Structure 1
Amino acid sequence: MKTLLKSQILRSFWILRLHHRWFHRHNRFLGSPIFAQYEAQSQGEQQLPEYFNFASDVLDKWSQIEKEGKRPSNPALWWINGRGGEVRWSFEELGVLSRKVANMLSNQCGLCKGDRVLVILPRIPEWWLVTMACIRTGIILMPGISQLTAKDIQHRLQASKAKCIITTDAVAPAVDSIAGSCNFLQTKLVVSEGPREGWLNFKELCKEAPDSHACVRTKIHDPMVIYFTSGTTGAPKMAEHSQGSLGFRPIAHKRYWLDLTPADIMWSTADTGWVVASLGSVFEPWALGSCVFIHSLQQIESTIILNTLSRFPITTILGPPTLFRMLAQSDLTSYKFMSLQYCLSGGEPLNPEVMEQWKSMTGLQIYDLYGQTETGMICAVKKGMKIKPGSMGKACAPYQVEVIDEEANVLPPGKEGEIGIRVKPQRPLGFFSRYVDNPEKTAATVRGDFYLTGDRGLIDKDGYFWFIGRADDVINSSGYRIGPFEIESALLEHPAVAEAAAVSSPDPLRGEVVKAFVVLSPAYTLQDKAKLTLQLQEHVKKVTAPYKYPRKMEFVKELPKTVTGKIRRNELRNQEWGRV
């Protein structure tokens, strides 16, 4: 342990010295065109600019700074696949390639500003090119995870009226099986080495496309990206973010949760379908001129993560608590993280025990984050702040976060209530614009002057927030937001199931998992509990995304209900968590 601490002290010394030298030579970074142009807005002295586009106003500006030698030689995007494949692109190369993709989307695919494209790509470089190309053209990006089933894809295409889908050979068959029912779908693009019948080849078209492209002018409140987010009832909703809510917030409030420099190398392990991927591997690090590091991660394994941290000069890692719980179970004494300085965790509550284990074995703190698809980061434990194990930290700019009661009154420190963000008289930058085509759901997120996060918690006398639990029935497993309605609907399609209820259940690794309470059909006799459990789990995997299946199952004679016949999920959830 003494040797480990000594090596980390030396490592910290040399990294800080290198950072100091670089900033001493290039101390004009904070005065660069990116931040200088918006300095008044970041100080709250002026209204937001009318026009903003992350590709032209940030990515291309860093490309120019790079040409002038005012940025370290780090790549802007550094990708590996763990099998020898590697991509290292500068901001200039990112600009050239994303302009080629922008031309491809506009010319060969016939897409225009405001059109929607569903993008289901794993952690491959093309995802970052498509993201920037959509921003350049004003096309609305809709990311999706690769685990989506044909039914999930069909719902997203039909609900969004998407004109284009971009995916890989692995997902293409599922798309083909439902494409005929998606009347608005005009173009299918596949990222593949070879041709596929009925699909345009992304790589071939990209080679042929010109690299000169005039970025469209987008207003700061123009829609930029739509995320599908699960709720307690119905299919996933479409949460729409603007150019400003994701792209401009890190500029107006630089370092509001991610404290990086252009000399840093940032690795976010998030799946490309989640908002954390956009925050942690696009907008936040690139706004600060940092390098985004990506491992394709076909499998999340401790040895892969630890070997990568040992072999590459990664200074910052962002992952869910599940990742750190998994890594803390390994023998970390055989690994040396020669560059790692900053560990961030978000997506679900982090156990204080894991924080202590990680610190004792690596000498590094874990900084906790709290956010949502609709809001981005809400609270954070930032560099320099005192770490209170188990706390989510303090409110992130520009949010005023409070704990409120059922009448939207602000509660005093130590009093449990619902976590809310003040949105009146003015909605702060960072919020989603709306749930598309669902004004009722959009309006239902506000109580009095506050946006409702759906989470319960409390604030202490020092302004630190503490998570207690969900105020609704949404299940958060390993950072995946799962709506109980989707699980219950899938189970009810099986002939053995008469009724079903899905709730969260504690799990030592994932924090919480889905548990299903099942009432069998009258004509069905339970003979082999284990066999039927496995059948129902496999059924749910086929009907909806595999990560949503119930890892626990209990067969019951009846479900608790209200007088109007609604299932009392809260009663079942409290039973699972020992709150009865």
Structure 2
Amino acid sequence: NFIFACLLFILSPCRLFHGCNRLLTSQIISYYDSVNRCEKELPEYFNFASDVLDKWLQLEKDGRRPANPAFWWVNDEGEEVKWSFEELGFLSRKTANILSETCGLQRGDRVIAVLPRVPEWWLLNVACMRAGIVFIPGTSQLTAKDILYRLQASKAKCIVTNDTLAPAVESVMSECRFLKTKLIVAKGSRDGWLNLKELFAVTSADHKCVKTRSRDPMLIYFTSGSTGSPKMVVHSHGSYGIGFATSGRYWMNLTPSDIMWNTSDTGWVKAAWSSVFAPWINGSCVFVHSLPEFKPATLSRYPITTFCTAPTAYRMLVQHCLSSYKFMSLKHCLSGGEALNPEVMEQWKIQTGLDIYEGYGQTETVTICANMKGMKIKPGSLGKAVPPYDVQIIDDHGTVVPVGKEGNIAIRVQPERPFCMFSEYMDNPEKTAACMSGNFYVTGDRGIMDEEGYVWFVGRSDDIINSSGYRIGPFEVESALIQHPAVMESAVVSSPDPIRGEVVKAFIVLAPAFVSHDPEKLTQDLQQHVKKVTAPYKYPRKVEFVQALPKTATGKIQRKVLRNKEWGKA
């Protein structure tokens, strides 16, 4: 991997940068890139806000950065926000003071932010870094039950949301003994809430960034599990802040002149990857479109140079006549979150002339594998390991398998654990230990490595469903279904779908009183029920009523049998 990384460094188009761009890239990220490539030690102290963003701010003030915004937000109503690094610094320091002084939060406290793609989400990200507060994002599709679980599990002292979700927070407040402050992002006031927009007008921007260690916690993401409630994945200041230097430079191919649009929801780690850390460590502009649905016209209307979205969006895009759009600025396309179909890559190339560079990672990691700029793309492959990861295919005993043989995709963590791995599953040492096998961290994905070191995704080794890049734990859907009086028993698995890759399918054993009900109406009732009980994206798009579910001798439901049936492997 080290030799491969060095070759990439020599051959990458990034080496061909001229003048200002090359100088700036060298000044800001070369050190952190060398940490990723194991040439330098991880610094003891690191804070992304002061060590990266404020450095770009200074270069910008000195006229040594291209005239490119740091942040550019638009919506369908014609509203627009553009910030330079200087403005981002000014506003994020105000936000840090709001959190620390007005909300009374201290270093190490936790804040949950459940917001759509609004500019304040980015300010809160940076403000939490500046104040040493742990930031916990959540998708705006969370229900009151989801919010309650996250507030109780994380012991968050503050929650930030909007008018839409404020009632859900209020309905569970009495059960959240750690919650002290509620911040709302809205134009008007609301009883019992502090208004973030109003506080900007009366808060000072005089704030000194705290000194954080690279190993100090910075982020917590909730990730679904196959057999239980969502786990809390803890990332440190160094893991994400430094860990995306290499993939941002070589996979995303970012420079200070680039404008990157990543379509990910703010509740998912891909938003942190491609809408915060990777572009900003490279001095690029983060472009955000707060649109209700994806529109290809956005790519032609704005000077976007780098585009990242889930395979689902590419599958939908290639069904349009893309030749009617002029993507004048677009030069680099990325994909992640789920496996990309080779035929979609081919159609995209035919219609746009551009390749799609696929990458692979998890909530627990930074980019594990990627098709780097300048590499030969093998359609359907995840690419090669990204430094500092040593990626291998192992068997269930932790032994590396021969080339071409299927096994578990794993990362070597002994004798030294890569700094850009998650710190732990918070308050869950059993789960933290369970993902290790011998000298390796096991991703939970199955794959094959070819003779050139390319990794090929085969499927999940657990029951997680990956639909349009949304990771869904079957346990949560089954728990929602069982609350309906018609459901006596259920099993939830993935089912193939031509657009979303896979969707949620529920096999349901009905209670005797509902056996004679109209199946179509009952299906619709159950789907609406799940949407109300848990996040709407988790509802079963397919439902099949059965008389019994396959089980082991001990009575455990065999989801694998049902999943294999769906995928034609029975």
Select the residue among 302, 321, 333 that pairs with 1:312.
302
Distance 1:522 1:451 in 2: 46
The aligned counterpart of 2:353 is: 363
Residues 86-142 of structure 1, C-alpha deviation per residue, up to 9 Å, x if partnerless?
A: 011000100000000000000000001100000011111100000000000010000
User: Does residue 1:348 correspond to 2:338, yes or no?
Assistant: yes
The aligned counterpart of 1:12 is: none
Residues 420-446 of structure 1, C-alpha deviation per residue, up to 9 Å, x if partnerless?
A: 010111110211100010000000010
Deviation at 1:83, TM superposition (A): 1.6
Deviation at 1:307, TM superposition (A): 1.3
Change (3 A) 1:327 1:27: closer
Select the residue among 499, 505, 508 that pairs with 1:515.
505
Distance 1:265 1:560 in 2: 51
Matches within 5 A, 1:322-471: 322-471=312-461
The aligned counterpart of 1:239 is: 233
- Would the aligned equivalents of 2:142 and 2:535 in 1 still touch at CA under 8 Å? yes
Distance 2:32 2:280 in 1: 16
Change (3 A) 1:170 1:253: closer
- Would the aligned equivalents of 2:93 and 2:205 in 1 still touch at CA under 8 Å? yes
Residues 279-301 of structure 1, C-alpha deviation per residue, up to 9 Å, x if partnerless?
A: 1010000000001100012x223
Residues 427-475 of structure 1, C-alpha deviation per residue, up to 9 Å, x if partnerless?
A: 1021110001000000001000111111111011111111111100010
- Would the aligned equivalents of 1:275 and 1:376 in 2 still touch at CA under 8 Å? no
The aligned counterpart of 1:282 is: 276
Distance 1:445 1:61 in 2: 37
Secondary structure of the corresponding residue to residue 99 of structure 1: helix
Change (3 A) 1:413 1:37: closer
Change (3 A) 1:521 1:89: same
User: Does residue 1:211 correspond to 2:205, yes or no?
Assistant: yes
- Would the aligned equivalents of 1:59 and 1:286 in 2 still touch at CA under 8 Å? yes
The aligned counterpart of 2:527 is: 537
The aligned counterpart of 2:5 is: none
Secondary structure of the corresponding residue to residue 201 of structure 2: helix
- Would the aligned equivalents of 2:21 and 2:255 in 1 still touch at CA under 8 Å? no
Select the residue among 195, 201, 205 that pairs with 2:195.
201
The aligned counterpart of 2:489 is: 499
The aligned counterpart of 2:560 is: 570
Pairwise CA RMSD: 1.6
Distance 1:559 1:20 in 2: 58
**Mean CA deviation greater in 260-269 or 46-55:** 46-55
**Mean CA deviation greater in 479-488 or 242-251:** 242-251
State TM-score, norm by structure 1: 0.94
Distance 2:406 2:33 in 1: 38
Identity over aligned pairs, percent: 63
The aligned counterpart of 2:293 is: 300
Distance 2:427 2:474 in 1: 22
Runs of 4+ in 1 over 6 A off after TM superposition: 19-22
The aligned counterpart of 1:163 is: 157
Residues 187-235 of structure 1, C-alpha deviation per residue, up to 9 Å, x if partnerless?
A: 0000011110110000011221101101011000000000000011111
The aligned counterpart of 2:9 is: none
Matches within 5 A, 1:54-203: 54-203=48-197
Distance 2:495 2:46 in 1: 44
Secondary structure of the corresponding residue to residue 573 of structure 1: helix
User: Which blocks of at least 5 consecutive residues in structure 2 are unaligned?
Assistant: 1-12
Distance 2:310 2:327 in 1: 19
- Would the aligned equivalents of 2:276 and 2:286 in 1 still touch at CA under 8 Å? yes
The aligned counterpart of 2:551 is: 561
The aligned counterpart of 1:30 is: 25
Distance 2:30 2:515 in 1: 71
Distance 2:310 2:47 in 1: 30
- Would the aligned equivalents of 1:41 and 1:252 in 2 still touch at CA under 8 Å? no
The aligned counterpart of 2:8 is: none
Residues 35-86 of structure 1, C-alpha deviation per residue, up to 9 Å, x if partnerless?
A: 3655763553432111000000000000001111111001000110122100
Change (3 A) 1:477 1:40: closer
The number of residues matched between the two structures is: 558
User: Which blocks of at least 5 consecutive residues in structure 1 are unaligned?
Assistant: 1-16
Secondary structure of the corresponding residue to residue 167 of structure 2: helix
**Mean CA deviation greater in 555-564 or 518-527:** 518-527
Distance 1:250 1:577 in 2: 35
State TM-score, norm by structure 2: 0.96
